[in-house]
Amino acid sequence: MASVDEAMLRAIALAARGLGTTSPNPVVGCVILDASGAVVGEGFHAYAGGPHAEIVALAQAGDRARGGTAVVTLEPCDHIGRTGPCTHALVRAGVARVVVAVADPNPVAGGGAQTLRQAGVEVEFGVRGAEAEAGNVAWLTSVRRGSPYVIWKYAATLDGRSAAADGTSMWITSEAARMDVHALRGTADAVVVGVGTVLADDPRLTARNLRDGTLAIRQPLRVVVDSAGRTPAEARVRDGAAPTWIATAADVGAGPQGRVDLRALLAALYRRGVRAALLEGGPTLAGAFLAAGLIDKIIGYVAPKLLGAGPPALADAGVHTIAEVIDLEYAEITQVGPDLKFTAYPRKREEG
């Protein structure tokens, strides 16, 4: 037997298996308990267009779902998209109770609780809501505001340098840290860099296994913020290994100094189905995003090395006096190989 609380923890763990493959849909996990409280079905949303978590779990449960409880990380959908409404499937299965962690903010798919209640199904909200919210934070945040959730990732020496004085930067961090970055890319819908990074490093920006070079099955959209269209035709981001968008000011719209308008860029990415964007460089673009208040989360890899000179990991972020400092709140600090990895959140975020 499992309590509803235990079942929700399991549903949250199941939902995490869909990170990186469900966008523009959310990650969702579901556990079905029969009338006696035994687990009889479980599932998660694996990929966009595929069966939703509830459908997978109900198929596994079969007739044992009748009179039971569905424990779901997100409010069951109530619309017909590429799949049918999960609310109708739950009612047909005879589920007596649905326990939901987080309400669905999507005006198109939301409203499932009302439909279920009208059909005589008991609905309860809020069980393990904070944990479920954290596991689905990129999708929830992006849908609530209509703009992608932006994670800034950077690597630096202990004294904050992203490269040596001669411009060389391979490799500041360890292979373990770089492998961790590739796993992080695999959870994002887009990887964003500035044209300066492309010209200096000619990165591939793909998610791959560093041991053998094989590409991950799903690749994020490669986005080069290139106001004047300077990305060379032979640049590796144009190699066809992953979808690529060279975002110019002419395409997106111009902001200050004729550069790509970053808010318009994010709006365009959202329309393309991007819910989580990984900002990887370089210091000028990162500073512009921070100055505009467009960073939601920061992941830094700090190597136990000193350079003493060379470009910093972050350029002008609009801070001109100590009173304007961008305060961060640490969420996690771990060691990856010899490097330190930290996750932090800007405490004061300017909303557009």
Q: Domain 147-346 carries which CATH code? A: 3.40.430.10
Q: Are 258 and 227 in contact (CB under 8 A)?
A: yes
Q: Are 148 and 276 in contact (CB under 8 A)?
A: yes
- Reply yes or no: is the peptide bond before residue 171 cis, omega within 30 of 0: yes
Q: What percent of the chain has pLDDT over 90?
A: 76
Phi and psi at 340, nearest 5°, equal: -95, 135
CA–CA distance, 131 with 73 (Å, rounded to integer): 9
- Reply yes or no: is the peptide bond before residue 232 cis, omega within 30 of 0: no
Q: Are 338 and 328 in contact (CB under 8 A)?
A: no
Provide the pLDDT confidence category of residue 108 given band limits of 50, 70 and 90: confident
Provide the pLDDT for residue 348.
Answer: 63
Provide the pLDDT for residue 232.
Answer: 95
273-307 pLDDT, tens digit each: 999 999 997 899 999 999 999 999 999 999 999 99
CA–CA distance, 259 with 252 (Å, rounded to integer): 10
154-194 pLDDT, tens digit each: 999 999 999 899 887 878 999 999 999 988 998 899 999 99
Provide the pLDDT for residue 109.
Answer: 67
93-107 pLDDT, tens digit each: 999 999 999 999 987
Q: How far is CA 253 from CA 84, 224, 257, 261, in A?
A: 38, 15, 12, 6
CA–CA distance, 283 with 201 (Å, rounded to integer): 13
Tell me where in the chain the CATH 3.40.430.10 domain(s) lie: 147-346
Provide the pLDDT for residue 307.
Answer: 93
Mean pLDDT of 27-49: 95
Rg value, the chain, Cα: 22
- pLDDT of 84 strictly over 80: no
HSE-up (13 A, CA, CB side) for residue 37: 6
Provide the pLDDT for residue 83.
Answer: 67
- Residue among 42, 54, 124, 351 flagged as catalytic: 54
Provide the annotated binding site for Zn(2+): 52, 77, 86
Provide the annotated binding site: 52, 77, 86, 155, 169, 171, 185, 197, 201, 205, 208, 227, 280, 282-288
Tell me where in the chain the CATH 3.40.140.10 domain(s) lie: 4-141
Question: What average pLDDT does the structure give for the chain?
Answer: 92
- pLDDT of 351 strictly over 60: no
Count of Cβ atoms closer than 10 Å to residue 334 Cβ: 10
- Reply yes or no: is the peptide bond before residue 308 cis, omega within 30 of 0: no
Q: Is 236 helix (H, G, I), strand (E, B) or coil?
A: helix
Provide the pLDDT for residue 350.
Answer: 46
Q: What percent of the chain has pLDDT over 70?
A: 96
Q: How far is CA 154 from CA 10, 207, 271, 281, in A?
A: 32, 16, 26, 7
Pick 4-141's CATH classification: 3.40.140.10, 3.40.50.300, 3.60.21.10, 3.40.50.2300.
3.40.140.10
Q: Are 90 and 118 in contact (CB under 8 A)?
A: no
Per the annotation, the verdict on 42 as an active-site residue is: no
Provide the annotated binding site for NADP(+): 155, 169, 171, 197, 201, 227, 282-288
